Amino acid sequence: DTGVSQDPRHKITKRGQNVTFRCDPISEHNRLYWYRQTLGQGPEFLTYFQNEAQLEKSRLLSDRFSAERPKGSFSTLEIQRTEQGDSAMYLCASSFGELFFGEGSRLTVL
């Protein structure tokens, strides 16, 4: 196992399109987090799963955002009807004690 994997690493899309990001956590990590990070800022919490249960959602996560972790393993983050303000790095992290981050998925909305 090589760590937390995110796909795609980069995504450029036109405003109004839908995008989906995938996160594969480290095996047997029960906790999975999604964060959004803009340039020069620290990561902002979006949502958190313990196994397959989504335990917390930030108010930053508007109705256009949805996250799933169907079998308690990988997770997806979908953004519908993207807006230019959605342009950011989307970070996934997993933990079973120690917290490990993926390399992020950078979204650019034109």
Q: Which residues bind another protein (CB under 8 A)?
A: 4, 6, 33, 35, 40-45, 48, 55-56, 89, 91, 93, 98-104, 106
Phi and psi at 85, nearest 5°, equal -70, -10
The minimum distance between CB 24 and another protein, in angstroms, equals 13
Q: Bridge partners of 5?
A: 24
- What is residue 91's DSSP assignment? E
Both tokens of 34, joined, read: 């999604």
SS3 (DSSP) at 15: coil
The minimum distance between CB 55 and another protein, in angstroms, equals 4
Q: Please, which residue, 40 or 70, has the CB nearer to another protein? A: 40
The minimum distance between CB 4 and another protein, in angstroms, equals 8
